[in-house]
Amino acid sequence: MENNNQSLSIGLLGARGFVGKDLLTLINHHPHLELDWVGSRLLKGKDIAELNSDLSGLTIESITAEQLAARDTDIIVLALPNEVAAPYVEVMLSKLQQPLIIDLSADYRFNEDWQYMIPEIISRDPSIDLTKIKLISNPGCYATAMQLALQPLKIEITGTPSCFGVSGYSGAGTTPSPKNDTNLLKDNLMPYALVNHLHEKEVSFHLGHNVRFSPHVAAFFRGISMTVHCDLKRSWTEDELFEYFSEFYSTNVLIKVQQEIPEVRDVQNTYHSIIGGFTLSDDGKKASFVCCLDNLLKGAASQAMQNINLVCGFDEMMGLESTLRCEEDQEPR
């Protein structure tokens, strides 16, 4: 979907959620995207300024699949709950002029007709012509953290890596549940879905290597801390691991590698992922390290914007540069 930096129209279905609100901000700051419409069943008839004070004059709609099929929109983002996107996708796929569709749910992450896209990983595959992609499946937040941490060591790992993840309660969405009840989370750490979590299956499938994953939710709002433990085929030193990761991600602006352990507050409200805290057993064959990212941004909304940029022929950082410069002025601890 190459372009010459002309403006493209974009519509967002599912604007009420946390990720949808962050996407509105990103779209508003993108110089070549024009927000065409916004859909939310529960906010039908309200002005978009209720979701984003920098936007106004656009009325939020409740859009059916048939109505969506009639829209002449270049890019459609589905920020819907799992198992809700299918009726909309079916009608859009039947159109003669199919828009670029990016789905943020888990519905198409195992579907070979959709391109699963972590920008820092897919860009390494020379067999993929990004400009030909019309269907994007955006990865899960936990899954992004695990894959960014494990991808560099993919051919060096033996056995089954173990990933211990802690997310802010925004990851549980806006529908009330124990996992986003701040009263239940106060002074607490809540484990859940300790076997067969969807993101465990997602990572095992796309990494091509089985992983174990233990998710937890804590009382902070946004961010993920992922501690990874893995066995290695040969002995390493901590400096070797640090240099190896640094070289692997040397061309990726949004991946920071450091020797110190990253913390959630280092990545909140940023588009970065930070990997660090490399430690090894005495024999150098058991590695532990940490990957942190913002679950709503790098784990969802800003990663979606990276993917849109890559497929549409824009610079990968288009619309993200101003915040990136601000964050680069703050050295991670």
The tens place of each residue's pLDDT in the chain, 333 residues long, gives 655 568 999 999 999 999 999 999 999 999 999 999 999 999 999 999 989 988 988 999 999 999 998 899 999 999 999 999 999 999 999 887 889 999 999 999 999 999 999 999 999 999 999 999 999 999 999 999 999 999 999 999 999 999 999 999 999 988 889 999 999 999 999 999 999 999 999 999 999 999 999 999 999 999 999 999 999 999 999 999 999 999 999 999 999 999 999 999 999 999 999 999 999 999 999 999 999 999 999 999 999 999 999 999 999 999 897 544 434 444 333
Is residue 185 in some structural domain? Answer: yes
52's torsion region: left (phi>0), alpha (psi -120 to 50) or beta? beta
CATH number at residue 170: 3.30.360.10
Q: What is the total residue count of the chain?
A: 333
Is residue 327 in some structural domain? Answer: no
Residues 114 and 208 in one domain: no
- The predicted structure's pLDDT at residue 325: 40
Residues 16 and 62 in one domain: yes
Is residue 2 in some structural domain? Answer: no
3-state secondary structure of 78: strand
Residues 305 and 275 in one domain: no
Is residue 240 in some structural domain? Answer: yes
Is residue 86 in some structural domain? Answer: yes
Options 141, 291, 292, 312, the catalytic residue: 141
- As a whole number of angstroms, the distance between CA 21 and CA 15 comes to 6
- As a whole number of angstroms, the distance between CA 110 and CA 112 comes to 6
Is residue 22 in some structural domain? Answer: yes
Q: At what angle do helices 141-150 and 198-207 cross, to 10 degrees?
A: 40
Residues 187 and 264 in one domain: yes
Answer whether 273's CB lies under 8 Å from 332's CB: no
Q: What is the count of structural domains for the chain?
A: 2
Is residue 23 in some structural domain? Answer: yes
Residues 28 and 130 in one domain: yes
Helix (H) or strand (E) holding 89: helix 86-93
Answer whether 227's CB lies under 8 Å from 263's CB: no
- The predicted structure's pLDDT at residue 73: 95
- Across 13-47, b (16+ Cβ under 10 Å) vs e yields bbbbbbbbbbbbbbbebbebbebbbbbbeebeebe
Kindly provide the residue ranges of all beta strands, DSSP E only, lying in the chain, ordered along the sequence. Answer: 8-13, 33-39, 75-78, 100-103, 115-116, 135-137, 157-167, 190-191, 212-217, 224-232, 255-258, 273-280, 286-293
Nearest to 52 by CA among 19, 31, 22, 17: 22
| Whether the model pTM is above 0.75 | yes
- The predicted structure's pLDDT at residue 330: 40
Is residue 118 in some structural domain? Answer: yes
* Bridge partners, residue 214, by sequence: 164
* Bridge partners, residue 289, by sequence: 228
Which domain covers residue 76, as residue numbers? Answer: 8-138+300-319
Catalytic residue list contains 141: yes
What single letter denotes the amino acid at residue 278?
A: F
- The predicted structure's pLDDT at residue 2: 58
Handedness of CA 194, 199, 201, 207 (dihedral sign): negative
Q: How far is CA 55 from CA 13, 34, 43, 51, 322, in A?
A: 16, 12, 15, 8, 18
Residues 19 and 100 in one domain: yes
- As a whole number of angstroms, the distance between CA 223 and CA 273 comes to 10
Q: Give the burial class of 332: count Cβ atoms within 10 A of its Cβ; 0-12 exposed, 13-18 middle, 19 or more buried.
A: middle
The token duo for 54 is 């920098």
- As a whole number of angstroms, the distance between CA 76 and CA 10 comes to 6
